[in-house]
Amino acid sequence: MQAVLPGMRDRKSGTIVNISSISGLRALPCGSIYAASKHALEGTSESLAQEIAPFNIRILIVEPGAFCTNFLGQDATWYQPLRNEYRGTLVDSVLDRLRRSDGKQQGDPEKGAERIYEVVMGEGMAKGRPEYLRLPLGAEGLKNARAKANQLMETFDALEDIALSTSFEED
């Protein structure tokens, strides 16, 4: 981003596409380091998008769910042996599901790439739509993004009184 921004600012146009993951919004057990990197990319993108908007530059954060790539393949992913205390836990079931999902993910990478291109260019399915910061992709990705948004709203609503109780008292 640092390398391309000077030219984009000079031209007063451009789009930066950052490939995140739905884990950038809703982390799974067993993926804390991966999720942390995606959360960082999301935060950086969200902040920078506001800074560069006056230069007619936008950032698009792509948040794919499960796409049929080699991401979960044996040569691409390395799993540490499961510690005994995690056997039979959520961690065990998530790791098992990830291993069994390799090659069976619902998302079509070619269609995903087409949608990204269309959103960047304002063509195809994106024609006539406003520009958004985030682009969730895939049924699973959208489902998890909505679940995260609902979880946040539930938490905010439930704790509103506590949040609002921290202001200085007015005389």
- Catalytic residue annotation: 34
Q: DSSP class of residue 130?
A: P
Which one, of 23, 120, 138, lies nearest residue 69 by Cα? Answer: 138
Strand partners, 18: 61
Q: State how far the Cα of 52 lies from the Cα of 5, in Å rounded to an integer.
A: 9
- Residue burial 133-154, b: 16+ Cβ < 10 Å; e: rest: ebbbbbebbeebbeeeeeeeee
Q: Coil, strand, or helix at residue 32?
A: helix
Cβ–Cβ < 8 Å for 18, 10: no
Cβ–Cβ < 8 Å for 30, 91: yes
* Amino acid occupying residue 171: D
